[in-house]
Amino acid sequence: MAKYLYLEIKEYLLKIIKENKNIAHYKLPSENQLALKFSTTRITAKRALTELQEAGYIYRIHGKGSFIAPSTASNEELQTGNFICMLLPDIESRFVTTLIDGVQGVLGNQGFHLLILRESEAELSGSKLISQMIDLGIKGIIVFPNSNARYNKDLLLLAFNRFPVVFVDRTLRDLEISSVTSDHHKMVKKAVELLFGHGCKNVGFISKPAEYSTSIAQRISGYEKAHIENNRTIRSGNVLYLSKEDPAQEIRILHFLEENMDIDGLLAYSGPMGFHLYRALQKAGIRVPEQMEIIFIDDEYTSFLDLLPFAPTCIAQRGSEIGRQAAQLILKYIQKKNVTVEKIFVDCDIVERESTGS
């Protein structure tokens, strides 16, 4: 079967290339990722990548990965063209997809091209990637910081020297760099107040630790502010701080629910952490929304609502709008040749579904 499996991998990669053909230098899945996805060996995955490279669809950089080859631009054109680089953490989410769409929509209309690079925090911290991009003539950089972002000195030096750099979704603490983010404080405050408005007396919060990122710290602040302004007492036991790397997420959530049975409203993360909550609720025998109303942060489940035990009410960030404003800010800096520090906050929407009562 492995004799033909590489062709299946090749078709899968060609589909990705077709979907992202206008994004030169888009990073493709690694050999390891492909081997895991198709339950095969790295050798089989490598064969598919090698054939695509030989056909001119992709190019490969040792230690960095495989990328979609520019369809029309040569290296010389790249160095003199209008290119914006977007640095993203190596994560997949609906929010990131809409963020990219927003950036592309603006840049494409202004004759600029978008280069997307997905890198792990460790790779970006220690690499010479930033300086290599600058050598190629990149006009500006849009950055989605990783958690506890520790970006290398090249990026920080660029920002300090007023090179066009804009952060999206979150910022770096104590650094004066332009950013376009959701109003994380306001959106969580709004969600908690909605639960209060539905009659919830005791609202809990399953959150990543505050030190994880500035956006998390702002969300926790919004949770606290909602309680203060509505004369509600915050019990320490009502907040569960949970790292996404914790291997015992479901067990810890279950214990949290069982130890706080009087919680009748809950704010929690979606994505993988949300799935752990779904299972913990089932094990604890808690009915939603009859016994507990829940609002998830980020609307990540819209594609498979029918597969879930209940359709979740979510805080939906306006990823496309954040991307659009970030791109406009970068273009303004490039065109005026003057970089100022601007902090732009974008509102969010609460999409009500089955997990909150009417």
Interval 142-180: pLDDT, tens = 988 765 445 556 677 777 778 899 999 877 666 778 999
The sheet carrying 113-119 orders its strands as 113-119, 83-89, 140-143, 165-168, 179-182, 343-346
CA distance 107 to 148: 29
What's the alpha-carbon Rg for the chain, to the nearest Å? Answer: 22
pLDDT more than 90, % of the chain: 42
Once rounded to an integer, what is the mean pLDDT over residues 275-301? 94
Q: How far is CA 36 from CA 20, 44, 45, 120, 141, in A?
A: 22, 11, 10, 18, 32
Report the pLDDT value the prediction gives residue 248, as an integer from 0 to 100: 92
Report the pLDDT value the prediction gives residue 263, as an integer from 0 to 100: 96
Report the pLDDT value the prediction gives residue 290, as an integer from 0 to 100: 95
Which one is predicted more confidently, 214 or 294?
A: 294
Buried-state track 312-350, b at ≥16 Cβ within 10 A, e below 16: bbbbbbbbbbbbbbbbbbbbbbbeeeebeeeebbbebee
CA distance 153 to 182: 26
Tell me how far apart the 2 most distant CA atoms of the chain are, in Å. Answer: 67
CA distance 120 to 32: 15
Work out the pLDDT band at 280, boundaries 50, 70, 90.
very high
Report the pLDDT value the prediction gives residue 80, as an integer from 0 to 100: 44
- Is the predicted pLDDT of residue 265 greater than 50, yes or no? yes
pLDDT digits (tens, 9 = 90+) for 52-98: 877 778 877 766 788 887 653 444 444 445 889 888 876 667 888 89
Report the pLDDT value the prediction gives residue 357, as an integer from 0 to 100: 80
Residue reference for tokens 């991998």: 9
pLDDT digits (tens, 9 = 90+) for 93-123: 788 889 999 998 898 888 888 888 776 655 5
The mean predicted confidence, pLDDT, of the chain is 84
Which one is predicted more confidently, 124 or 280?
A: 280
Query: Which residues of 183-280 form beta strands (DSSP E)?
Result: 203-207, 239-241, 265-269
pLDDT digits (tens, 9 = 90+) for 191-238: 999 999 999 999 999 998 888 888 899 999 999 999 999 999 888 889
Work out the pLDDT band at 302, boundaries 50, 70, 90.
confident
